[in-house]
Amino acid sequence: MTVIVLTNCPPGLRGFLTRWLFEISAGVFIGNPSARIRDLLWDEVQQYAHQGRALLAHTTNNEQGFTFRTHDHGWHPVDHEGLTLIRRPNAQKSSSPATTPPKGWSSASKRRRFGRK
């Protein structure tokens, strides 16, 4: 089973993929092509996606039962002891520690939240 998800990609690329896969929702394609066809489709997706994002997930013979590839995603697959996990970009870190309440809170809410009297 193969799933390709496109975001912000040209309509021509979506039309190309409908030759081989079913479009079950806008930008979501599913099918069961051979491994050779799947790799050729992914090469075309990477070439013509331009500034869009793409994700390919397909079944394989490993512990998870599937693997995936990404194109221009902020989230990247990372191998961790044989398992493929997703590494997400770091969220902005707060400069103040969690024990100091943020500015702008009322005195009552500060006491209630942080147990001060």
Structural domains present in the chain = 2-87 (3.30.70.240)
Query: Exposed/middle/buried for 117, CB within 10 Å: 0-12, 13-18, 19+?
Result: exposed
Task: List, for residues 61-77, the tens digit of each pLDDT value.
Answer: 988 999 989 998 888 88
Measured between alpha carbons, how far is 16 from 93 in angstroms, rounded to an integer? 42
pLDDT exceeds 80 at position 7: yes
Identify the pLDDT of residue 102: 59
Q: Rounded to two decimals, what is the model's pTM? A: 0.72
Task: List, for residues 15-71, the tens digit of each pLDDT value.
Answer: 999 999 999 999 999 999 999 999 999 999 999 998 899 999 999 998 899 998 999
